[in-house]
């Protein structure tokens, strides 16, 4: 799964993702967590890439206001994405990029869980494959939320966890965002594990487990 990640270089987002303008204040975060409002990139009706702040944890269009336990999955499994009612329409038209510098995953050591920080050294600001939902309810309240797609782990990640987020190659990002691509089969082939040889993982402080901790030292390596 993917439950925490880092977006620590907002000043690089415009150039990296070819945004013509950026009208958002994007703070650094070294411990992005579910329910946070974080930047995602979509292609708007004018055919331009646009960054928007959305809440992490997808709220479906049919959710009722005031639900005590609203459905808000932070991840969507690539293997079943075309089967689940919550996701199968979004994969056709509501795909997004989720910018990140890296992510955290916890390795089960039996008596405790050790967090690892995972990066792509050759692509220090990359993109997860995401889906988003955007609607306005009968009371005029606007809802903008997203989820990150996960897949089976590669050789590196399988030593840490049973799932990993889908990281898109830069050359595939345009196709993923293209609103003219509405056949899920065309983009499903992109939802595969990123090559293990192009990733790096190392243990970090257990302080990352507390969402109140949000500082650059969270990604500093420690001895396991």
Active-site annotation, residues: 2, 105
Name the residue among 128, 107, 102 with its Cα closest to residue 117.
Answer: 102
CA distance linking residue 199 with residue 173, whole number of Å: 18
Instruction: Report CA-CA distances (Å) from 8 to 60, 103, 176, 191, 216.
Output: 29, 11, 23, 25, 8
Tally DSSP H helices, then E strands, for the chain.
Answer: 5, 13
Instruction: Report CA-CA distances (Å) from 114 to 164, 188, 206.
Output: 16, 32, 7
Helix (H, G, I), strand (E, B) or coil at 177: helix
For residues 50-78, one letter each, b for 16 or more C-beta atoms within 10 angstroms of the residue's C-beta and e for the rest, the string is: bbbebbbbbbbeebeeeeeeeebbbbbbb
């Amino acid at each position: 799964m993917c439950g925490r990640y880092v977006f620590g270089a907002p000043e690089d987002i415009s150039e990296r993702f070819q945004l013509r303008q950026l009208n958002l204040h994007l703070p650094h975060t070294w411990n992005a967590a579910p329910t946070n409002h974080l930047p995602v990139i979509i292609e708007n009706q004018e055919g331009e890439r646009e960054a928007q702040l959305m809440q992490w944890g997808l709220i479906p269009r049919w959710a009722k206001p005031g639900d005590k336990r609203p459905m808000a999955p932070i991840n969507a499994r690539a293997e079943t994405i075309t089967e689940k009612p919550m996701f199968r329409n979004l994969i056709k038209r509501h795909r997004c990029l989720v910018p990140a510098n890296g992510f955290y995953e916890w390795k089960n050591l039996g008596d405790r869980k050790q967090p690892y920080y995972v990066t792509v050294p050759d692509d220090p600001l990359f993109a997860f494959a995401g889906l988003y939902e955007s609607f306005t309810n009968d009371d005029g309240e606007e809802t903008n939320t997203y989820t990150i797609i996960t897949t089976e782990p590669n050789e590196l990640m399988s030593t840490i966890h049973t799932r990993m987020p889908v990281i898109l190659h830069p050359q595939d990002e345009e196709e993923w965002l293209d609103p003219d691509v509405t056949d899920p089969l065309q983009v499903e082939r992109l939802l595969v594990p990123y090559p293990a040889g192009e990733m790096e993982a190392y243990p970090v402080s257990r302080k990352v487990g507390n969402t109140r901790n949000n500082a650059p030292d969270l990604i500093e390596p420690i001895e396991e």
